Amino acid sequence: MTHSPEEPMAGRGALRDRLPPLDPPPELADRVRRTLGTRGLVRRPARRVPTWVTRSGLIAAGIMLGILGRGAYQEAVVSGGAASVTPLGQYVLLLYGDTPGDTGAVHLAREREYGRWASELRDGARWVGGHELHDVIVDLAGARPISPVESERLTGYFVIEAASPERAAEVARTCPHLKYGGRVVVMAVAS
Amino acid sequence: VTPDAESDDALLGRLARTGDARAFEVLYARHTSALYSTAVRLTRDPDAAADIVHDAWVRAVESLHRFENRSTLRTWLTGILINRHREHERERQRDGADDDLTVRDVIDAASSRPLDDTRFDRLDLEAAIAALPAGFRHVLVLHDVEGFTHEEIATMLGIVPGTSKSQLARARQRVRDFLEAGVPRSVP
């Protein structure tokens, strides 16, 4: 709340302590938690693999910082329970195109499908980050603004780690974005 | 820094970035009592109040990206609560014709004596507020109980600040009238 200089303070908030307390029912908290959990909006912090969350530019910023900070990152993993130790490189899967009219519950279901796909990567590949991208704010080429072509609109990205470029390409071929008519471009992150 | 010591903004950031349940729990604990109190006084129905507080939290978390730091989190949450309440009212077709004040009805709010300098029983006061028509009740609860400014109330209710002031003045007078004449005890 703010204080407006022209507004008399008299009476503002003065009745709060003069009224009987009204405590929310204890079950309300569980009800809110359950709804938020069902919709994938709130998760326990220990859970590592997130769903494909759409609604925060902050997430994108955080992930991009992660990419920049881990560009040279190499890690050994045990794949398939065998003792094979494989160095991983980072790759970006750029998702182009979108499904017109894909909103609301349909969109949410698709987000969850993408999230499941990302969380289930294994065998020499694993999810690092990703986010859906909203509409282009401005598309600049030098000093000349250009109009983005809708069919080539970048709609999201995943960052993965994979044992090889070939494995990254295999992963990309399984991305659910393809079955919705989208295009997936794989690029290696410079190390 | 423990979650309890973090600012609303920091907790909102973590909730938006990672869906951090602990951040949500702290925010819920900080703001739900005020939201619920407001909701009960607006709806006069504890069950309906719980429903709209539930819906307000879900909508808020769904639309965290829309929160701008032009207001406090509590103001933003209360605005969402008000919107949900109004939808709820429309759904239940409980809008009263007594809410139709316009700018022409503006009364100089400065001439309206605040209620806090009046001595009265707090249950009578609660009952008097509950007996107000919805438009008066909304403004009085948001201003005199919850402490929002007329500008904030105007934004929440989709009216001009002058209307908020005039409704407050009339609401206070109506409460005084109730208190002097006796109020039916129908408060939840």
Question: Considering CB atoms only, which of B24, B72, B172 is closest to A36?
Answer: B24
In this prediction the pTM is 0.52
pLDDT tens-place string over residues B128-157: 888 898 889 999 999 999 999 999 998 888
Between A and B, how many residue pairs show a Cβ–Cβ distance under 8 A? 144
What residues form DSSP beta bridges with A131? A157
Rounded distance between C-alpha atoms, residue B64 and residue A176, angstroms: 27
Neighbours of A67 (CB within 10 A): 16
SS3 label, residue A156: strand
Q: Please answer yes or no on whether B17 and A62 come within 8 Å at the CB atom.
A: yes
Q: What is the pLDDT of residue B113?
A: 55
Yes or no: say if A50 and A115 are a contact pair by the CB < 8 Å rule.
yes
Q: Please answer yes or no on whether A16 and B33 come within 8 Å at the CB atom.
A: no
> Measured between CA atoms, how close is B146 to chain A, in angstroms?
5
* Average confidence score pLDDT of chain A: 69
Q: Please answer yes or no on whether A13 and B144 come within 8 Å at the CB atom.
A: yes
Q: If you search the block for the tokens 């701008």, which residue do you land on?
A: B68
Structure tokens given for B45: 């129905």
* DSSP 8-state assignment for residue A175: -
Per-residue pLDDT 10s for chain B (188 aa) are 555 678 888 888 888 888 888 999 999 999 999 999 999 999 888 888 998 999 999 999 988 888 877 788 999 999 999 999 988 887 765 444 344 433 333 334 334 556 655 556 777 888 888 889 888 999 999 999 999 999 999 888 888 888 899 999 999 988 888 888 766 554 44
The separation between CA A61 and the C-alpha centre of its own chain, rounded to angstroms, equals 10
Q: Please answer yes or no on whether A1 and B147 come within 8 Å at the CB atom.
A: yes
Q: What is the pLDDT of residue A145?
A: 58
Phi, psi (degrees; rounded to nearest 5) at B50: -60, -40
Q: What is the pLDDT of residue B139?
A: 93
Structure tokens given for B132: 């107000």
Q: Please answer yes or no on whether A32 and B62 come within 8 Å at the CB atom.
A: no
Rounded distance between C-alpha atoms, residue B172 and residue A3, angstroms: 21
Q: What is the pLDDT of residue A110?
A: 76
Taking Cα atoms as reference points, which of B87, B75, B19 lies closest to residue B51? B87
Rounded distance between C-alpha atoms, residue A189 and residue B56, angstroms: 41
Residue of chain B whose alpha carbon sits nearest to that of A57: B65
Q: What is the pLDDT of residue B24?
A: 93
Count of residues for chain B? 188
DSSP-assigned letters across all residues of A93-128: EEEE---TT--HHHHHHHHHHHHHHHHT--SSEEEE
Chain A residues with CB-CB distance to B48 below 8 A: none
Taking Cα atoms as reference points, which of B46, B8, B4 lies closest to residue B54? B46
pLDDT of A56 higher than 70: no
Chain B residues with CB-CB distance to A59 below 8 A: 16-18
pLDDT of A142 higher than 70: no
Q: Please answer yes or no on whether A22 and B36 come within 8 Å at the CB atom.
A: yes
Q: Could you give the percent of chain A with pLDDT greater than 70?
A: 58
Q: Please answer yes or no on whether B114 and A36 come within 8 Å at the CB atom.
A: no
Q: Quick check: ipTM above 0.85?
A: no
pLDDT tens-place string over residues A143-187: 665 565 555 788 888 888 888 899 999 999 999 888 888 889 999
Question: Considering CB atoms only, which of B18, B41, B112 is closest to A50?
Answer: B18
